[in-house]
Amino acid sequence: MHLILIFNHKQFIRTILLLKHTSSMNKYCYLIAAFLLFATSLSAQQVTLTKDQIVAMTSEWKGERLPDGRPKVSDDQLERLKNISIEEAWGILRNKGYHNQFEGDWMIMDNEKPMTGRALTVQYMPARSDYHEMIMAKGKAENRIGNFNSWPIDMLKPGDIYVADSYGKIVDGTLIGDNLGNSIYAKSKNGVIFYGSVRDEEGLSKIDGFNMWVKGYDPSYIQGMMLGGINVPIRIGRATVLPGDAVLAKKGGVIFIPAHLLADLLINAEFIALRDQFGHQRLREGKFTPGQIDQRWTDEIKNDFLKWLDANPDKIPMSRAELDAYMKDRTW
């Protein structure tokens, strides 16, 4: 479903706040309805959601925010996220009721290099002249420069990832070439995730540090498309993505993590990894049997694990205080 960005601001905020009192299974429907219901007047048209609208849409996030309103998960968390497997992240999100956060089957520039960052979301749509002309006029009024596919690049901050839905269009759907790729990396020190295509693959591959997950390459240039909106909810294959989601892109695919769940996901996944390292070592040493390691741990194994942690502080990715607090409340 594509979103037309014509909003009554106050009504939008009130409707989003109703989500707090709505069952989880209906929240997504209400969220989409909030955007469609308030497509009311030409005077309220905008290229991107306002800061207040983004804050309302991501209200479960209680931390720092970027100037545009997106959640700002920390750089340290994004660096730690690179060590989390797609399967670990997927399992934790699924247990929390988030079943639509993963998309696979990508063409990847460097599949040995994971990429993490904060999503700056962009919706592209098949061209329709009346809406396209309105968006271009609004962009001009907002002093946006160049073609519409460069506007999101001007908004990128360090640590951002340009995440765009261009409905899988390959021929005549190339969102960037090497010129825009250089600008993206200069601003974000990151790359792109496009449910669509790019051109100038050779030139893009020469940008040191740049990476991308796309659905195809093509020598054509972008045409027959228009901008639907920036920093709006988008669909990337079978995943729903909100502005400011934490992105984990690896060889196996891309997972989009709601910002308010990242800290809990990290410590859960990191603890599981620590348990596995300890368990594998003790199995190799023959100290415990697979049956002992794979079931709920006895006090003997727990105490041995704590001693192992003391002897291997370099293996602990979080602070020891965070780990101790987590283990205090954990059911082993």
Domain assignment of residue 7, yes or no: no
Last residue of a domain, one of 194, 222, 257: 257
* DSSP, residue by residue, 82-112: TTS-HHHHHHHHHHTT----EE---EES-TT
Q: Which of 1, 3, 223, 5 is nearest to 127 (CA)?
A: 223
What's the CA angle centered on 280, arms 277 and 283, to 5 degrees? 150
Question: Does residue 209 sit in the same domain as residue 266?
Answer: no
Domain assignment of residue 3, yes or no: no
Instruction: Check residue 40 and give its pLDDT.
Output: 35
Question: Does residue 180 sit in the same domain as residue 140?
Answer: yes
Domain assignment of residue 194, yes or no: yes
Q: Which two tokens stand for residue 246?
A: 């934490």
Question: Does residue 206 sit in the same domain as residue 90?
Answer: yes
User: For residue 223, which amino acid is it?
Assistant: Q
Domain assignment of residue 79, yes or no: yes
Could you report the average pLDDT of every consecutive run of 10 residues in the chain (332 residues)? 44 52 50 44 67 97 98 97 96 97 98 97 98 96 95 98 98 98 98 98 97 98 97 98 98 98 96 94 97 95 96 93 90 72
Question: Does residue 200 sit in the same domain as residue 117?
Answer: yes
Domain that holds residue 251: 46-257
Question: Does residue 268 sit in the same domain as residue 249?
Answer: no
What number of CA atoms fall less than 13 Å from residue 64's CA on the CB side?
6
- Give dist(CA 52, CA 69) in Å, integer: 7
Domain assignment of residue 64, yes or no: yes
Domain assignment of residue 16, yes or no: no
Domain assignment of residue 14, yes or no: no
Last residue of a domain, one of 230, 257, 284: 257
- Confirm if 254 and 239 have CB atoms less than 8 A apart: yes
pLDDT (tens digit per residue) in 44-68: 458 999 999 999 999 999 999 999 9
* DSSP, residue by residue, 196-207: SEES-HHHHHTS
- Confirm if 265 and 276 have CB atoms less than 8 A apart: no
Question: Does residue 163 sit in the same domain as residue 307?
Answer: no
Domain assignment of residue 12, yes or no: no
Predicted TM-score of the model (pTM): 0.84
Question: Does residue 157 sit in the same domain as residue 74?
Answer: yes
Instruction: Check residue 39 and give its pLDDT.
Output: 38
Instruction: Check residue 25 and give its pLDDT.
Output: 47
**Cα 130 off chain centre by:** 31
Question: Does residue 250 sit in the same domain as residue 277?
Answer: no
Instruction: Check residue 332 and give its pLDDT.
Output: 72
- Give dist(CA 31, CA 51) in Å, integer: 16
Q: In total, how many domains does the chain have?
A: 2
Question: Does residue 219 sit in the same domain as residue 127?
Answer: yes
pLDDT (tens digit per residue) in 174-212: 999 999 999 999 999 999 999 999 999 999 999 999 999
* DSSP, residue by residue, 238-301: TEEE-TT-EEEEETTEEEEE-GGGHHHHHHHHHHHHHHHHHHHHHHHHTSS-HHHHHSSPPHHH
Question: Does residue 252 sit in the same domain as residue 271?
Answer: no
Q: Which long-range contacts (CB under 8 A, 24 or more apart) does 309-317 make?
A: 309/274, 315/274, 315/277, 316/274, 317/80, 317/83, 317/270, 317/273
Question: Does residue 89 sit in the same domain as residue 183?
Answer: yes
Question: Does residue 214 sit in the same domain as residue 200?
Answer: yes
Last residue of a domain, one of 208, 223, 257: 257
CATH (domain of 239):
3.50.30.40
